[in-house]
Structure 1
Amino acid sequence: MTTESAGSRTRLRLAPMRPRDPSEPGRSASTLELFFDLVFVVAVSIASVQLHEALTEAHVVDGLVSYALIFFAIWWAWMNFTWFATSFGTDDWLYRLLTIVQMAGVLILAAGIQPLFADGDFTLAVAGYVVMRVGLVAQWIRASISNPDLRRTTLTYAVGVTVMQILWIATLPLEGTARYVVVPLLVAGEISVPVIAERQRALPWHPHHITERYGLFTLILLGESLLGSSNAIIEGLRGEHDLVQLVSVAVLTLVSTAALWWIYFWPPHHESIGSLGRSVRYGYTHYFVFAAAGALSAGIEVELDVINGDSKLSDVAAAFTFTVPVAVFILGIWWIAMCDFADRFTNIVIPAGAALILLDPIVPLPFAITSVVLVVMLVVLVVHPTVQRGQGEGDRPLVQYEREQRGLNE
Structure 2
Amino acid sequence: MTAQPDAVSAPPPDSSGESERHASWLELFFDLIAVAGVAQLAHLLHGAPGHADLALYCVLYLAFWTAWMCFTTYGNVAADKVHTRTVLIGMFGLAVMAAAVPEIRSDHAAAFALAYVLVRLLASQVWQGRGEVPADWPMAQLSAGVVPWLVSVWAEEPVRYWLWAAGLVIDLGLTFARSKNQVMARLQGEWEERDRRHGPTAAIPRAARFDPRHLDERLGLFTLIVLGEGIAQGVDAASEAEWDAELCSLAVGSFVLLLALWALAVRRSSGVPLLGFGVLAPRFSLPLHCVATGALASLAAALGAAVEHAEDSLPLGMRWLMCGAIAVFLAVGLLAGALSGRGARWIVAVGLPMVAAPLLLAFFAEQWAPATLVWALVLVARWNWIYEKRFA
Give the TM bin, normalised by the shorter chain.
Answer: 0.7 to 0.9
The counterpart of 1:179, out of the listed 160, 166, 190, is 160
User: Which stretch has the larger CA shift, 315-324 or 98-107?
Assistant: 315-324
The equivalent residue for 1:101 is 89
State the Cα distance separating 1:106 from its structure 2 match.
0.6
Amino acid aligned to 2:44: Q
State the Cα distance separating 1:258 from its structure 2 match.
0.6
The counterpart of 1:271, out of the listed 255, 263, 278, is 278
Q: Percent identity?
A: 22
State the Cα distance separating 1:153 from its structure 2 match.
6.5
**C-alpha separation in 1, matches of 2:157 and 2:314:** 29
Given that residues 29 and 212 in structure 1 are in contact (C-alpha distance below 8 angstroms), is that contact kept between their aligned partners in structure 2?
A: yes
Kindly tell me: are residues 141 and 157 of structure 1, through their superposed partners in 2, closer, same or farther at Cα, counting changes over 3 Å?
farther
The count of residues paired between Structure 1 and Structure 2 equals 340
The equivalent residue for 1:142 is 129
Kindly tell me: are residues 337 and 216 of structure 1, through their superposed partners in 2, closer, same or farther at Cα, counting changes over 3 Å?
farther
Gaps of 5+ in 2: 1-13, 185-206, 269-273
State the Cα distance separating 1:200 from its structure 2 match.
2.5
**C-alpha separation in 1, matches of 2:61 and 2:213:** 25
Given that residues 319 and 367 in structure 1 are in contact (C-alpha distance below 8 angstroms), is that contact kept between their aligned partners in structure 2?
A: no
User: Which stretch has the larger CA shift, 169-178 or 242-251?
Assistant: 169-178
The counterpart of 2:215, out of the listed 188, 210, 214, is 210
The equivalent residue for 1:13 is none
TM normalised by structure 2 equals 0.77
Kindly tell me: are residues 344 and 351 of structure 1, through their superposed partners in 2, closer, same or farther at Cα, counting changes over 3 Å?
same
Matched, 1:41 2:35: yes
**C-alpha separation in 2, matches of 1:84 and 1:344:** 38
Superposition pairs of residues 391-410 of structure 1, within 5 angstroms: none
Given that residues 257 and 375 in structure 2 are in contact (C-alpha distance below 8 angstroms), is that contact kept between their aligned partners in structure 1?
A: no
The counterpart of 2:142, out of the listed 153, 160, 174, is 160
Matched, 1:26 2:20: yes
The equivalent residue for 1:66 is 56
Given that residues 99 and 135 in structure 1 are in contact (C-alpha distance below 8 angstroms), is that contact kept between their aligned partners in structure 2?
A: no
Q: CA RMSD in A?
A: 2.9
The equivalent residue for 1:9 is none
**C-alpha separation in 2, matches of 1:151 and 1:223:** 34
Given that residues 127 and 133 in structure 2 are in contact (C-alpha distance below 8 angstroms), is that contact kept between their aligned partners in structure 1?
A: no
Kindly tell me: are residues 259 and 253 of structure 1, through their superposed partners in 2, closer, same or farther at Cα, counting changes over 3 Å?
same
Q: State the SS of the aligned residue for 1:270.
A: coil
Given that residues 327 and 358 in structure 1 are in contact (C-alpha distance below 8 angstroms), is that contact kept between their aligned partners in structure 2?
A: yes
The equivalent residue for 1:130 is 117
The equivalent residue for 2:332 is 332
Given that residues 247 and 307 in structure 2 are in contact (C-alpha distance below 8 angstroms), is that contact kept between their aligned partners in structure 1?
A: yes
State the Cα distance separating 1:264 from its structure 2 match.
1.4
Structure with the higher fraction of residues in helix conformation: 1
The equivalent residue for 2:98 is 110
Kindly tell me: are residues 208 and 337 of structure 1, through their superposed partners in 2, closer, same or farther at Cα, counting changes over 3 Å?
farther
Matched, 1:285 2:275: no
Given that residues 145 and 166 in structure 2 are in contact (C-alpha distance below 8 angstroms), is that contact kept between their aligned partners in structure 1?
A: no
User: Which stretch has the larger CA shift, 335-344 or 34-43?
Assistant: 335-344
**C-alpha separation in 1, matches of 2:294 and 2:139:** 25
**C-alpha separation in 2, matches of 1:33 and 1:218:** 15
**C-alpha separation in 2, matches of 1:152 and 1:209:** 16
Kindly tell me: are residues 152 and 197 of structure 1, through their superposed partners in 2, closer, same or farther at Cα, counting changes over 3 Å?
farther
State the Cα distance separating 1:170 from its structure 2 match.
1.5
Kindly tell me: are residues 215 and 384 of structure 1, through their superposed partners in 2, closer, same or farther at Cα, counting changes over 3 Å?
farther
Gaps of 5+ in 1: 1-20, 145-149, 386-410
**C-alpha separation in 2, matches of 1:178 and 1:366:** 38
The counterpart of 1:200, out of the listed 157, 167, 183, is 183
TM normalised by structure 1 equals 0.74
The counterpart of 1:378, out of the listed 362, 369, 385, is 385
Deviations 1:128-166 (A, max 9, x none): 21222233133112112xxxxx47969x878732x4334
